[in-house]
Structure 1
Amino acid sequence: MNGSKNMFRNKLVWIGLALVVGVIFIMGLAQLGSSSNPVPKNMPVALVSLDKEVQLPNGQTLAIGKMIEQQLMTAAPSQGTEPPLKWERVNSKDTAMQGLDDKKYYSVLILPESLSADIATLFSPQPKAAAVEVYLNQGMNITGANLVSQVLTKIGEGMNGQLRKQVLEGVKAQGDILNSAQAAALASPITLQTEIVHPVPAHSANGNAPVAFTILAWFGAMIASVLTFQASAKARSTSKLSNAGVAVSQAVIGLLYVLVALGATLLLAKSTLGMTIADSWQFSIYFTFISYCFFLMQSCLLNWLGMNGMPIMILIFFFGSPILALPSQMLPAFTQDWLYSWIPLRFGTEILREVLYFGGSSFSSASAVTLIIIGAVALCLSLLAAVVKPYKDKNKAKETAAAESKLAV
């Protein structure tokens, strides 16, 4: 009985309960807080209206392009909500397509020059099909592209319903006679001709390959930073110059670890899982770059904080990984401003997305420049830590403690 009473009186038991609640709350917030019930908001879509108005036999003017443009641009969302799409008027198809290449738009909607003329044929015995071009930027984010496609499909259904009503009213005014061709055309006055640009290839983790590879880079760098930190701690001495040399050696050995991680990643992805990597050489360059920047960043934390820096590295992963696969427009405002805007995993994912789905990246891109700056600053701070932080000889400390205990006896 006394043993049981002692167990319930033990502070560690009650502290443990508090820790369980705290860990579950933090990890649950990290994994679910930013990604539960995501809603698309203001996802950028380009509209190119080339349509030319036409005169109907009754003298009225038909301008379908202007009508659609006005509806899309002035559509008001429900009270208290933001619209799912943010439309931007673009003057030419080439400019809009360049926007897709630059990851500026999730989709481009093009109203062709003959749109009104084709719709006008619905009033004639020989109707002609009218089509609108839709380009989906799948490589930008497959989840975002699919959601935009669903919204555009609903918009297309709404446009067809409105046109069907107008045409039927016009036909009624002409005598209320429809032939079989007109009836068939009225089922869908406008068809959406969808084409995918920067497609996500098969065997690409459903478009999440950039996220998966970034996570592998983060964890590979974490192992490398911990091991090299432990080795550097044993190699340090009272000489500041020597300690600076140890920090340089730590950075060089870290590069070796990163190259080994690259080889393991390629072996797993291509040989074992059969994932699609179109350009293995370019992928290797940027994966190594991302992993090494992560290594320098993590090593900097350990060099200044010791193993106390590990929880920060783990929390960055737990808070960052759930949001990487989602478009930023689907994240809560707090997550966008205070997490997505700076988390390093995001920059690695964006670079690998360009490599895998957009035909290549560049070290001058915003994400690459950001990682270069982070890596360079981290390396400088690691060198500074090697020189500034006081050296503690653990063996000498143990000998002193042992001597003091003998004197006490």
Structure 2
Amino acid sequence: MRTALVTAVAGAVVAFLLGLLTFGVQATVHPHDVPLAVVAPPPIAERVRAADSPEVDIRVVGADEARILLADREVYGVLEIAASGATIRLNPAVNPSGTQVAQQVLTGVAQGAGLPVRAEAPAVSAADRTAPLAASALLWIGGMVAGVLFVVLKGGRFRLVSSLGAAVLTVGSVVGLLAWWGVSFTGAAVAFLFAVAGAFALLQAGLFKHLGIRAMGILGLLYLMAPAVAGQVPELLNPAYKVALWSWTPFRFSTEGLRALLHDGAISTEWWVFAGIAVVGLVLVLAGQKTQPDRPDGVVDVGVDQADGLPGAERQHTA
């Protein structure tokens, strides 16, 4: 009876936590301080400033500054107002959720000023919008499956070969899959995929080495909760989720970095993040090398004869 109650409570607790960490992110989405830029003559600029609200952060700037802000992904959209009408400029390297909010708000601003409005942005296919997050998740799964199989199949001393081999092959499969969907890759984007896959695989291999199959409790939870956060922009997240999850999840860095590189953008922080993850993973893999294969339950056979665990057994003999 006690076991039945414990397992029932455990199931309910796990369901609550997973709901809180996954679906709760999407259920609490609401825009706040979404950065936008507006280029307008002085009379209209004052009306635009008056339209500011807690949901958006509208900056009235010059045309050159606005385009720089958009190229650097400092704002999610730019509204340029002239006597002939208004133009909304969007950057495909910005998270689609952010550009959607930007277009809706800026369209409302232009219509409020009584001006015809048109949107100007490079065409982005559904595959291009899906690719960054999909690639991040698939690279994580590839390394995780290789790591857990290495434990289950009692792999020997070639864990590093397994993890790096899985990273290379997974990148190949992901690039092939996305190319089939019609996504075009730059050389920098492919190099970044290798960096992400290698970092993921090394970290996972290190955890599997020291925790055995129990590492799935950590890696599986990260996979379930991280994509729901990484697919959002921080200005749409509940502040609690932004601090507790979005601020550190590696899926966020891989998704944003790949999206920028697919659209000829530049990144810097993301390279350092995955270099750091790779170093941590490599240290875990190389620390305390074991000479015997792992067991799936994480227990290492230390070579003690069964009889040695039975007091006096070795002294039992027939006269």
Bin the TM-score by the shorter chain: 0.7 to 0.9
How far apart, CA to CA, are the structure 1 residues paired with 2:183 and 2:201? 24
1:258 to 142, 151, 167: 167
**2:69 is the counterpart of 1:99:** yes
Question: Counterparts of 1:85-164 in structure 2 under 5 Å?
Answer: 85-91=56-62, 93-112=63-82, 115=83, 130-160=84-114
The count of aligned residue pairs is: 308
Instruction: Map Cα deviations across residues 53-104 of structure 1 (whole Å, 9 max, x no partner).
Output: xxxxxxxxxxxx2232122224453xxxxx222112333x233222222211
Instruction: Map Cα deviations across residues 284-308 of structure 1 (whole Å, 9 max, x no partner).
Output: 3222211111112222322333332
**2:152 is the counterpart of 1:223:** no
CA contact 1:224–1:258 (8 Å) conserved in 2: no
How far apart, CA to CA, are the structure 1 residues paired with 2:281 and 2:172? 25
The AA in structure 2 aligned to 1:134 is I
CA contact 2:307–2:313 (8 Å) conserved in 1: no
Name the structure 2 match of 1:183: none
Name the structure 2 match of 1:308: 214
Name the structure 2 match of 1:240: none
Aligned residue for 1:396, secondary structure, equals coil
Report the TM-score, using the length of structure 1 for normalisation.
Answer: 0.68
CA contact 1:39–1:331 (8 Å) conserved in 2: yes
**Unaligned stretches of 5+ residues in structure 2:** none
> How well do the aligned residues superpose, as a CA RMSD in angstroms?
2.7
Aligned residue for 2:90, secondary structure, equals strand
How far apart, CA to CA, are the structure 1 residues paired with 2:92 and 2:175? 24
Aligned residue for 2:310, secondary structure, equals helix
The AA in structure 1 aligned to 2:172 is G
Question: Counterparts of 1:4-403 in structure 2 under 5 Å?
Answer: 10-49=1-40, 65-75=41-51, 77=53, 83-91=54-62, 93-112=63-82, 115=83, 130-160=84-114, 190-197=115-122, 199-204=123-128, 207-228=129-150, 235=156, 246=157, 249-270=158-179, 274-279=180-185, 281-356=187-262, 358-359=263-264, 361-362=266-267, 365-386=268-289, 394=301, 396-397=303-304, 399-400=305-306
For CA contacts below 8 A with separation 6 or more, give which structure has more relative contact order: 2
- Aligned pair in 2 of structure 1 residues 305, 202: CA closer, same or farther (>3 Å)? closer
CA contact 2:160–2:285 (8 Å) conserved in 1: no
Displacement of 1:144 in angstroms is 1.7
How far apart, CA to CA, are the structure 2 residues paired with 1:195 and 1:333? 31
Displacement of 1:48 in angstroms is 2.4
- Aligned pair in 2 of structure 1 residues 385, 336: CA closer, same or farther (>3 Å)? farther
CA contact 1:277–1:283 (8 Å) conserved in 2: no
Larger radius of gyration: 1
Displacement of 1:214 in angstroms is 0.6
Displacement of 1:395 in angstroms is 6.2
Displacement of 1:264 in angstroms is 2.3
Aligned residue for 1:46, secondary structure, equals strand
Displacement of 1:234 in angstroms is 5.6
Aligned residue for 2:59, secondary structure, equals strand
How far apart, CA to CA, are the structure 2 residues paired with 1:302 and 1:140? 35
